[in-house]
Structure 1
């Protein structure tokens, strides 16, 4: 595996930590790039300033890129652990036809600078601490679980972990050698890889095929005693949920996250598609559409535009339908890119960790997952 590095700054041993906050954007400087597999690279960054990285294992950050003159935001899970706060890494798979992943592979080198938003996300170990875990991943979905495992290793955790990763071939197993090394040093860790096919230069001798109820029960006979974290492509996630259902697993102990941001897309395009409860508010009955669904007006004060938004429609979709382009990325309430100050009105917002409680208290919303409960005025 090849790697390139830029000269590293010495980090003062007694440096006072200056951490990112939810409002922060910062400039990251790439210090190293290395090959993980034939189509996966690891990118290590330091902050341009004197910040240290403060995040939870399993969270992601949003890169703010300029690709061929178009602003593009994309979220990548942090694969490094928060226990090593002076540097941060993302691990990116090159996707055939993927605008952003190909640009990252071809353009980010040691010395490159990129803008990024502070880490976010609710898919973290802190969500449900346990004595026994099952980590399930496929493809590049391994990255948040690798951050979790590296954190547990650094902290000397005694938790019992089964790390089950699915790949197409042996050459596609991400972090294969590092996982083997950590397994030798963590007596309560068991790593199992499942491959669908052989690789021309390596015949696979381990578990073969796709994950099934029988395979999962064989590998993890004490499944019902474990808290499960799962990340991977959408079909894999759906298969895991179906398998766990067949095995009558308690989904109250199940946590998942899936990113589809590397799907092929044109620059500037928006990829396809803990709840906050609000007290009832006294508002006048809104006008109804032809199908009886209420409609509201949404004013964008900076552009001077006002659009109509149905009560069952997200603000972002209404804006895009009217030709108003808002900054957005995930469209799933995860990345925080579409965060807007709300000047007046009320919304129903169901997000996935992309906005913090104090931001909600300050009147901010995520346009991609907010539906109007009244007429709105937004600072955009």
Structure 2
């Protein structure tokens, strides 16, 4: 009854506040006073590596915490435009009073570079609800193997911290791949855990040093195939592919759980079906030759700036109407030519001539 009454009051207030939601008015007073939207204020900023920034956030009451391994939509206003991206919290699960994000600035990452260069205490970010199925099972594994590369460290670090916070004493192996030792955020913490907790084993492999080590089967032999072991994997496409191949060859695929931070958007080249046609962006009145890449990448190459979030088909913020033509979903390979359909331009590539409302 109380919940229904609160919802009724909320509806009445929003109707009175028309044409804008209540939170649009409240943020003029204080961005951290919200009726419905979740937000978070940056209270601490650390730059642990040359390419990353670690933010400690104090969220508003709407934040209910996350499960280890999940991701959350983060929005930031840059030059009057709100941009949305997805990042995985690095802290242990169940915390509702604080949130920790470590964001790696990539060459083409507009939001990640902005936060790396400009994040400061007092800045307020928008928060979405946590989502994603890359999580620890309710019954914790007898042996946990956490494998990450680059910025994929955050969700598996959240898993490690969660298990430790719960007092989990079964074996945990943390295997991380980075360019150099200086590129590992949380390196000091992980070294300390490796030294002080008998059941935690931390292994680093560096891919751009004199004795560079890329993934090799020996890195997981005796770990992933141990009785009761479950493997959680997050990292760049090359690492993900190598570990999946390893698991397939050893019959361990049912024990491997993974989350990708990036996807391979390179055109699939078939000599029997060459790339042809033009892409017409109807709103911009621009037409360019189809080069086989996703509609989002081709639009950006044409000088357009369509809205997007994750670039992985998760968030749906890049959804546009395909007026005509055929597209291929690069995740599933499915072809679709139904006119006037909403599609995600980050994971759809044109096949022949395509008209898209961009």
Range into which the TM-score falls when normalised by the shorter chain: 0.5 to 0.7
Aligned position for 1:45: 57
Q: Is the 8 A contact 2:75 2:85 kept in 1?
A: yes
Structure 2 SS opposite 1:120 = coil
* CA distance 1:228–1:221, change in 2 (3 Å): closer
Where 2:220 maps in the other structure, the secondary structure is: helix
Partners of 2:161 and 2:315 lie apart in 1 by 23
Q: Distance in 2 between matches of 1:331 and 1:79?
A: 21
Task: With the length of structure 2 as denominator, give the TM-score of the two structures.
Answer: 0.64
Indicate the residue corresponding to 1:209 in structure 2. Answer: 213
CA distance in 2, matches of 1:184, 1:50: 37
For 2:159 and 2:132, the matched residues in 1 are separated by 13
Report if the CA contact (8 A) 2:146-2:174 is conserved: yes
**Aligned partners of 2:58, 2:107: CA distance in 1, in Å?**
28
Task: Please tell me whether residue 241 in structure 1 is matched to residue 244 in structure 2.
Answer: yes
Aligned to 2:126: 115
Residues 24 and 237 (structure 1), Cα distance of their counterparts in 2 relative to 1, 3 Å cut: farther
Q: How has the CA–CA distance of structure 1 residues 45 and 225 changed in structure 2, closer, same or farther, with 3 Å as cutoff?
A: same
For residues 345-356 of structure 1, the aligned pairs below 5 Å read none
**Paired position in structure 1 for 2:310:** 330
Q: TM-score, normalised by structure 1?
A: 0.60
Does the CA-based 8 Å contact 2:41-2:122 persist in structure 1?
yes
Contact 2:36-2:62 within 8 A present in 1 as well: no
Greater than 6 Å deviation, 4+ residue runs = none
What 5-or-longer segments of structure 1 have no aligned partner? 1-22, 264-270, 274-315, 317-324, 341-350, 352-365, 372-380
With a CA cutoff of 8 Å and minimum separation of 6, indicate the structure with the bigger relative contact order: 1
Q: Deviations over 1:146-173 (max 9, x none)?
A: 0111111111112211111111111112
> RMSD across aligned C-alpha pairs, in angstroms?
3.9
CA displacement, residues 200-258 of structure 1 (integer Å, 9 cap, x when unaligned)? xxxx7xxx4111123332x6374464111000011211121122223x13211111111
In the alignment of these two chains, the number of paired residues is: 268
Write the distance in 1 (CA, Å) between the matches of 2:63 and 2:224.
41
1:153–1:186 Cα contact (<8 Å) kept: no
Whether contact under 8 Å (1:31, 1:45) holds in the other structure is yes
Distance 1:128 1:257, change over 3 A: farther
> In structure 1, the residue corresponding to 2:128 is in which secondary structure?
strand
Separation of aligned partners in 1, 2:244 and 2:36 = 36
